[in-house]
């Protein structure tokens, strides 16, 4: 540790060989840890009348997306992040990893990517240049920088989600909901 309290030297974060996906380790016969998710079963020693709150959630298919993901925007349309949340959740469920990813992480990803799409639509509508508020000269549109920021945030969140799937999925995973969203954005379709 240096005098200013920061750590110097040592191994860099994310340096070295990247870990292989779980399904590749299994296919090659290499040792692999498979995370076991215990089934949630109600306690047999308790009576139903003794419980204050129903805590047996095994029948719940998907946590309901938060209301802010479908909130009405200034233009009168819903945000639409709830649709991306549901699509991502179904993608995780098809790979058996829905219990491993925190629903708040999926919500954050859905909101960031939807905001990115909104910024790209604004760039398409208003162009790449804007008007400076005091001088009236041409400046770069603020939507460009916001778009880059939201895309970076969405990608970082997606890498977290995808890493969980990569490390825990026992079958080969094909298909990526992010590819579908990019295809929709590039083809000009609106997902609302």
Q: For 88-115, write each residue's pLDDT tens digit.
A: 999 998 888 888 899 999 999 999 999 9
**Claim: this prediction has a pTM higher than 0.75:** no
Rounded to whole angstroms, the Cα distance separating 131 from 137 reads 6
Residue ranges covered by each domain of the chain: 66-187
Rounded to whole angstroms, the Cα distance separating 97 from 99 reads 6
DSSP for 114-168? HHHHHHHHHHHHH-SEEE-TTT--EEE-HHHHHHHHHHHHHHHHHHHHHHHHHHH
Residues 6+ apart with CB under 8 A from 167: 19, 21, 22
Rounded to whole angstroms, the Cα distance separating 114 from 151 reads 9
Q: For 7-54, write each residue's pLDDT tens digit.
A: 777 777 778 888 888 888 888 888 888 777 776 665 555 555 655 654
């Amino acid at each position: 540790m240096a005098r200013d309290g920061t750590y110097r030297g040592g191994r860099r974060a994310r340096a070295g060989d990247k870990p292989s996906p779980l399904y590749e380790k299994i296919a090659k016969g290499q040792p692999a840890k498979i995370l076991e998710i215990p089934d949630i079963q109600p306690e047999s020693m308790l009576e139903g009348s003794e419980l204050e709150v129903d805590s047996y959630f095994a029948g719940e298919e998907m946590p309901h997306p938060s209301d802010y993901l479908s909130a009405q925007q200034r233009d009168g349309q819903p945000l639409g992040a709830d649709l991306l949340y549901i699509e991502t959740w179904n993608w995780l469920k098809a790979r058996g990893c829905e219990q491993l990813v925190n629903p708040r992480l999926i919500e954050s990803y859905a909101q960031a990517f939807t905001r990115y799409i909104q910024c790209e639509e604004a760039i398409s509508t208003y162009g790449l240049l804007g008007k400076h508020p005091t001088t009236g000269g041409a400046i770069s549109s603020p939507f460009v920088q916001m778009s880059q920021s939201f895309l970076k945030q969405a990608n970082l969140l997606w890498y977290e989600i995808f890493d969980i799937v990569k490390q825990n999925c026992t079958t080969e995973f094909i298909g990526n909901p992010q590819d579908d969203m990019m295809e929709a954005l590039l083809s000009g379709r609106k997902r609302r």
